[in-house]
């Protein structure tokens, strides 16, 4: 039986030496520390947030959640907007097909209007 070989011992038969300049090296399973990558500062809200705020700003009475979903927005995004204070949501009852339904209506808040104004100012400043 052959004895256990450590990583420093060649595993090739002694009759065939290692190719010139190539030695067996240990396998490291940890990453070397690297310098952190610089983060670019975000100017204004995320694109989906901005698009959602623009849609809400265009609707004086706000939008129902169904309309927001139909425009490709997720429930998570709507929750983010409300929690960030950029929009407000309230329950609304309506009759459709003779059935009483409850839905949420989302409206842009004053902070949402301010965020859109800040984005517009930043866009104008970049273009000049």
Q: What is the pLDDT of residues 14-71, one digit of tens each?
A: 555 555 555 555 555 556 666 666 666 555 558 889 999 999 999 999 999 999 999 9
Within-domain flag for 108: yes
Parallel, antiparallel, or unpaired: how do β-strands 87-96 and 63-64 relate? unpaired
Please check the confidence at residue 101 and state whether its pLDDT lies above 80.
Answer: yes
Within-domain flag for 27: no
Host domain of residue 122 = 47-127
Within-domain flag for 78: yes
The more confident residue out of 16 and 76 is 76
Burial environment of residue 119 by CB neighbours within 10 A (0 to 12, 13 to 18, 19 or more): middle
Q: Do residues 119 and 50 lie in contact, with contact meaning Cβ atoms separated by under 8 Å?
A: yes
Within-domain flag for 64: yes
Instruction: Specify the CATH number for the domain of residue 87.
Output: 1.10.10
| The pLDDT value given to residue 46 | 80
The more confident residue out of 57 and 2 is 57
Q: Considering its fold, how many domains does the chain have in total? A: 1
Report pTM: 0.59
């Amino acid at each position: 039986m052959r004895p256990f070989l450590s990583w420093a011992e060649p595993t090739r038969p002694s009759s065939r030496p290692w190719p010139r300049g190539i030695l067996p090296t240990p396998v490291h399973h940890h990453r070397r520390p690297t310098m952190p990558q610089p983060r670019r500062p975000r100017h204004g809200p995320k694109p989906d947030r901005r698009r959602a705020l623009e849609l809400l700003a265009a609707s004086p009475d706000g939008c129902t959640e169904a309309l927001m979903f139909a425009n490709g927005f997720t429930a998570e995004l709507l929750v983010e907007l409300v929690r960030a204070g950029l929009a407000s949501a309230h329950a609304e009852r309506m009759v459709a097909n003779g059935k009483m339904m409850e839905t949420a209506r989302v409206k842009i808040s004053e902070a949402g209007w301010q965020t859109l104004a800040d984005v517009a100012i930043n866009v104008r400043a970049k273009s000049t």
